[in-house]
Amino acid sequence: MYQREVQGEWNVLAETKKGRGLEYWLKRWVTTTHHTDIGIMYIVSGFVFFVMAGILAVLMRIEVSFPGRQLVDASGYNAMFTVHGTTMIFLWVIPVLVGLANYLLPILSGAPDMAFPRLNAFSYWTFLPAGILIWVGAPAVGWTAYVPLAVLQAGIGMDLWLIGMVLVGVSSIASGVNFTATIIMLRAPGIEFRNMSLFLWSVLATSAMILLATPVLAAAFILLLLDRNLGTSFFTYTESGAGDPLLWQHLFWFYSHPAVYIMILPVMGAISVIIPAMARRPIFGYRAIVISTVAIAAVGFGVWAHHMYTASMDLRLKAFFMTATLIIAIPTGIKVLSWIATLWNGRIQFKTPMMFSLGFLVLFVIGGVTGVFQGSFALDLQVQDTYWLVAHLHYVLFGGTVMGVFAAIYFFFPTMSGRMYNEKLGHIHFWFTFVGMNFTYFALHYVGLLGMPRRVYELSGYPEIFTTVTQWSMIGSFVLSFGMLFFFYTLLHSMQPGEIAPAHPWE
């Protein structure tokens, strides 16, 4: 029923808006407060930033794969690294998921719109200039912006980056308030907590994490701005004993590790919708998935210091954070087992959303297993600041979050556009992405265990195996990039001349 209504709306819009000029379209999109419009703007803007950050990733792979300078100097490489990491997390993954939530949340909850439509528009128009400031600033400090380097970094670029990050935080908080209020207060009659979509549960848990963690990070960026410009010493050590660089790490990671779950929980919610639809079976263990979602959100706040094992920390604290890190694998494992049980004896359709969902399962489990190993501070002390961390991070965030985002985009594309995509092109995109992802990052586990340091501009003087594996990784990044071309071509090709989506595209 809903699909017919959406298709009808698209047909009416197509007829009534023919011949409209640029002025109409600017007014239409700049002043809109409707959740579907804002969702689409978030998704489109996020993918623009994704392309830009992806280009930086390929350039960095090229630079580090050959001895000597290839494209940029060391400072330029560090600036690219800063912008790449910041963009992928704060300007692509989270905004695209916010866009999907914007589009789908009122539909799945039965609400007419978001609880605060103007606040919703404010969140987008705060996010967009934030991204511009981050790219214009481009400081050479890495995405973690550790002090004292971030305080001593010369130039206005660092300040622009910090202001952009504060605005990103404001945007996220506004979205978190809106999502929470909409789910709790505007659900339609009959949609209760005991039966609402698992995607709504994941968005609700994510919103709670955003509201608790993001203000801490935004405050940390503001304090760092004060240290840089007003001579305060919140993080900068002085002769009088004021200031503590470790305080920055605690504040940064108090948000930035829960941010992993802020990125992955909505994807898990989408996967919990896609797999039952593709397997023709109800989700196995609905209540267990809900409880595990809440457990991940709660325990996620107790693991941040496992990023700081090499810092000065009491052994008892290390034991606590190690235990919390290992415990969080339990609710994650419950989700994985529930998805596998749903697939068991199901009439599985291997459509593109299902392929990306299966790819998500495989790659995310690999990233999770390496994370369990790394959760032990004994191993973490050995692999700290090596390419093992690069491999682990990308298997969780790219292999997990990005594969899940593509699964959701393909699954909800008929709803959002009224058109069907080309299934063959979608499969080509999947295989290039899956193969390219593993070719790029899997071998980095090995050289990381051998001690290959991350964030190195070039590898002259290091063992030859480091250069060889890095060149393999560069080739894998080319494969990934080629696969992305199929993705964008598929969507653009399907928007206008594509097949009209049926009332129930997934039967």
The structural domains of the chain, with segments of one domain joined by +, span 1-31, 32-235+243-495
Residue keyed to tokens 């029923």? 1
Query: 60: which residues sit within 8 A by CB, 6+ positions away?
Result: 77, 80, 81, 84
32-235+243-495 is classed CATH 1.10.3720.10: no
Measure Cα distances from 253 to 35, 89, 146, 249, 367 in Å.
31, 14, 11, 6, 19
SS3 content of the chain, % helix, strand, coil (to 5): 75, 0, 25
Neighbours of 334 (CB within 10 A): 18
Name the token pair of 439.
């070719």
User: What one-character DSSP code corresponds to residue 460?
Assistant: T
For residue 89, the Cα-to-chain-centroid distance in whole angstroms is 5
Check residue 65 and report its DSSP letter: T
Torsion (CA) 150, 152, 154, 160 in degrees, nearest 10 = 30
In angstroms, rounded to a whole number, what is the distance separating the alpha carbons of residues 249 and 108? Answer: 38
The Cα-based distances of 142 to 24, 94, 138, 175, 394 in angstroms read 41, 19, 9, 27, 16
Q: Two tokens at 449?
A: 């265990």
With beta carbons less than 8 A apart as the criterion, state whether 504 and 3 touch: yes
Reference 103, options 50, 147, 46; nearest CA is 46
pTM of the model: 0.92
Residue 419: strand, helix, or coil? strand
Tens digits of pLDDT across the chain (507 residues): 344 444 444 444 444 445 566 777 777 788 899 999 999 999 999 999 999 999 999 999 999 988 888 889 889 999 999 999 999 999 999 999 999 999 999 999 999 999 999 999 999 999 999 999 999 999 999 889 998 899 988 889 999 999 999 999 999 999 999 999 999 999 999 899 999 999 999 999 999 999 999 999 999 999 999 999 988 889 987 766 678 889 999 999 999 988 999 999 999 999 999 999 999 999 999 999 999 999 999 999 988 888 888 887 888 888 999 999 899 999 999 999 999 999 998 899 999 999 999 999 999 999 999 988 888 888 888 898 899 999 999 999 998 899 999 999 999 999 888 888 989 999 999 999 999 999 999 999 999 999 899 888 888 888 899 999 999 999 999 999 999 999 999 888 887 766 787 877 887
From the CB of residue 500, how many other CB atoms can be counted at a distance below 10 Å?
11
